[in-house]
Chains A and B, each alone.
Chain A
Amino acid sequence: MPRDRPGSAAPPRSSVAISFGSPATESGVGRLDLNEILVRHPQAAFMMRIAGDSMREAGVCDGDLALVDRALTAAHGHVVIAIVNDEFVCRRLVRRGQVVRLQSDGEAPPDRVPGEAEELQIWGVVTHVIRPLAA
């Protein structure tokens, strides 16, 4: 059955939305959804607020909203959320040979090298940061 169009002979309908239908819905295509684009593993997706500017070189700034994915296995080069002294810190994971370190990209705090007793605890991998540019 042909869909109603303005000017067609079809009787008037009470609702404009119904008479035009939604081409997107009917062809099974939905509007782009940021959740689908940014969140690969919804059950493992968490948000954290970044405090501090030592990761500015990596594009992570003070006040940013960080999207954290716990489903990813942290690898060399990932920006991660790690647990250091019972606190969450954002650092880059760097592996050189056998040594795995947490490294800030800026100058300020020194690299964090876990001591022998201190196991490196990775909480999740930062996949994106969101930073408002206009209110």
Chain B
Amino acid sequence: MFALVDVNNMYVSCERVFRPALNGRPVVVLSSNDGACIARSNEAKDLGVRMAQPWFEVRHLEREAGLIALSANFELYGDMSSRMMALAAEYAPRQEIYSIDECFLDFEGVPGDLVAIGRDLRSKVLAWTGLPTSIGFGATKTLAKLANHVAKTADRKPGRYPPQYAQVCNFLDLSAEQLHAVLSAADVGDVWGIGRKTAPRLNEAGLRTVLDLLKADVPALRRQFGIVMEKTLRELRGTPCHVVDDAPQPNQQIMCSRSFGAPVTELPTLIEVVSQFVTQVARKLREQGSLAGGVQVFINTSPYRRQDRQHAPSATLRLGQATSDTRVLISAVVRVLRSIFRPGYNYAKAGVLLVDLQQASHEQSALDLFEPGPSPDAPERNRASLMSAMDALNDRFGRGAVTVASAARRPGPSAHASKQERRSPRFTTRLDEIAVARA
């Protein structure tokens, strides 16, 4: 028995907890360079703002419809997420945190009325954190996801599903007729694992609703759409194929990329940018106890600047020996960058991807210590302690306190700093940014 708990319009809901004036108004949250809408309030959805739609396309709604756009405030969202997750975890023996705003709970062996438990969880999270959630229960993760979709949609769009399923919906409480009605009202695209590309192909084959899908011929679907589709179908029929994974796998790749505030044409600036990216991803790499076997670097011009000549190269370099040393990774990344950079282009974005990640065993770390490094000045055997000292200093004094020289910000306004012009205060993570109450 699985539940899927997720926060409705997570980023917007976090903003509204601390900015009551945003309630009832159309709000979008923009990606890190204020480029695209990555979260929308229901009011913004009703204005027709699409997910991931570029901001410049909907900007006119600011004046015309009072649309409010905010820069993403990930410190706030991350902290609110950890509060919600901790509260949800109290309700079931196992929890899998699936993304910043949703988790699976495994209710196997939990006695009692699950809908009542779900309503209690929902009202507790709402009272304690201010975040509204939707909860779906089902015999499999795919069914719990679908029940969650029903719970959320019944709340937001009255008429599509019966109102008693709003906010908390348990498929196992439904009679055969009720379930039949729900499954014939749900689109195939509402099913977990059926993406934007697959749904139209299913529609072409005459399969529009989840009920159509359940009646379809499994071997034929498997031939056309592969083994993942077969798994999805089995899950929809109530046979669990996915378990709740409460020990998440380490990330298999780690990426950092960003669009620049202004076009970048100079190689030294790009070197500075990617070195900062490496500093961040290498730290994540060490935090999860992994080593990277290769680095991928990409830079690209802006497809929205049609007057510019376009150049979007990308290259990967395999490392002789997997490592988590910031200095080795930076030198590899800079080598790749030099090979793909061409003068005369207005670069708008750069990114670094660490690939071929492997667990750092003690043997590997020991070997790693004796691998010749890029810097003759630092004794190599001190590398691991140097890296952990760097992490500790950055913990204590803030990110960027200590860094490898090529990643150091040069004085003066930085061309590539994120715009972030509309970011709310970080109400829960910075003492000088907490909310003010008048007395």
Contacts and interface: CB of A to CB of B under 8 A. Distances in A.
B293 to A, nearest CB: 37
Interface residues of B, number: 19
Interface in B401-430: 427-428
A91 B439 CA distance: 7
Contact of B439 (A54, A65, A70, A83): A54
Interface residues of A, number: 31
Contact of A89 (B21, B130, B438): B438
Interface stretch (A13-21, A22-30, A41-49): A41-49
Contacts of A55: 439
B435 interface: yes
A86 interface: yes
B20 A87 contact: yes
Interface centre among A48, A104, A121 (most CB of B within 10 A): A48
B437 interface: yes
Interface in B92-140: 127-130
Contact of A88 (B428, B431, B437): B437
B205 interface: no
B128 A44 contact: yes
B20 A48 contact: no
Contacts of B247: none
B86 interface: yes
Interface centre among B21, B130, B437, B439 (most CB of A within 10 A): B439
B86 to A, nearest CB: 5
16 contacts: A46-B434, A48-B436, A48-B437, A49-B435, A49-B436, A49-B437, A51-B439, A52-B438, A52-B439, A53-B439, A62-B439, A70-B129, A81-B437, A87-B20, A88-B435, A89-B439
Given A49-B434, A86-B23, A89-B437, 17 more contacts: A42-B86, A43-B86, A44-B83, A47-B431, A48-B436, A48-B437, A49-B437, A50-B436, A66-B437, A70-B127, A83-B20, A86-B20, A86-B21, A87-B20, A87-B438, A90-B439, A104-B439
